[in-house]
Amino acid sequence: MATKDLTLEEFGTTVSENDTVLVDFWADWCGPCKQFAPVFDAASEKHEDVVFAKVDTEDQQQLAAMAGITSIPTLMAFRGGVLVFSQAGALPGSALDSLLEQVKGLDIAEVRRMAEQQAAEQGGAAEPGQDEAVQSTASHLDEVNGR
């Protein structure tokens, strides 16, 4: 499966309407991003059940800011509309394959239950809309990164 270029307008629906989504935040001037691109593309061919999306941080500065991107490349994995992995840095192909198998192996019902519990604790809705999905991702990343 080919990779998909993702914009702010498409981010929330892409994440919420697909079972597993892997997002690569990158920029054209970034050497590690260029080195990682063929690894990401090769993985997209192996894992046809996963949506592989790329966000050009130069073109989509608002989305990158909302997601709290401070270093690129940054990978985010979503399962059932919930952020389950976020890490800056490129991964070798074998590590990316392993990550994807782990993400696909997550119990979707448990992931959603935990997301609903977290949303209830924060006073938010369990099923966010597009704007809320982007904002929720950014808020979650801030918590994870201690911001």
- Domain harbouring 60, CATH code: 3.40.30.10
Q: Which of 72-76, 109-113, 132-136 has the highest mean pLDDT?
A: 72-76
Q: Kindly state whether residue 96 falls inside one of the protein's structural domains.
A: yes
Catalogue the active-site residues: 30, 33
Q: Rounded to an integer, what is the distance from CA 38 to the centroid of its chain?
A: 18
Lookup: tokens for 115: 């997301």
Give the mean pLDDT of 22-34: 96
For the segment 29-76, what is each residue's pLDDT rounded down to a tens digit? 999 999 999 999 999 999 999 999 999 999 999 999 999 999 999 999
d(CA 129, CA 9): 12
Domain count, the chain: 1
Task: Give pLDDT, residue 76.
Answer: 97
Q: Kindly state whether residue 146 falls inside one of the protein's structural domains.
A: no
Q: Kindly state whether residue 145 falls inside one of the protein's structural domains.
A: no
Task: Give pLDDT, residue 114.
Answer: 83
Q: Kindly state whether residue 69 falls inside one of the protein's structural domains.
A: yes
Task: Give pLDDT, residue 145.
Answer: 44
Is a pLDDT exceeding 90 seen at residue 136? no
Q: Kindly state whether residue 27 falls inside one of the protein's structural domains.
A: yes
Task: Give pLDDT, residue 138.
Answer: 47
Please write down the HEC assignment for all residues of 21-89.
EEEEEECCCCHHHHHHHHHHHHHHHHCCCCEEEEEECCCCHHHHHHCCCCCCCEEEEEECCEEEEEEEC
Q: Kindly state whether residue 129 falls inside one of the protein's structural domains.
A: yes
pTM: 0.79
Q: Kindly state whether residue 13 falls inside one of the protein's structural domains.
A: yes
Q: Kindly state whether residue 147 falls inside one of the protein's structural domains.
A: no
Shortest CA distance to 53 belongs to which of 22, 84, 28, 27? Answer: 22
Q: Identify the residue with better confidence: 136 or 77.
A: 77
DSSP state of 18: S
Task: Give pLDDT, residue 141.
Answer: 45
Residue range(s) defining the domain that contains residue 65 = 4-140
b (16+ CB within 10 A) / e for 5-36: ebebebbbebbbebebbbbbbbbeebeebeeb
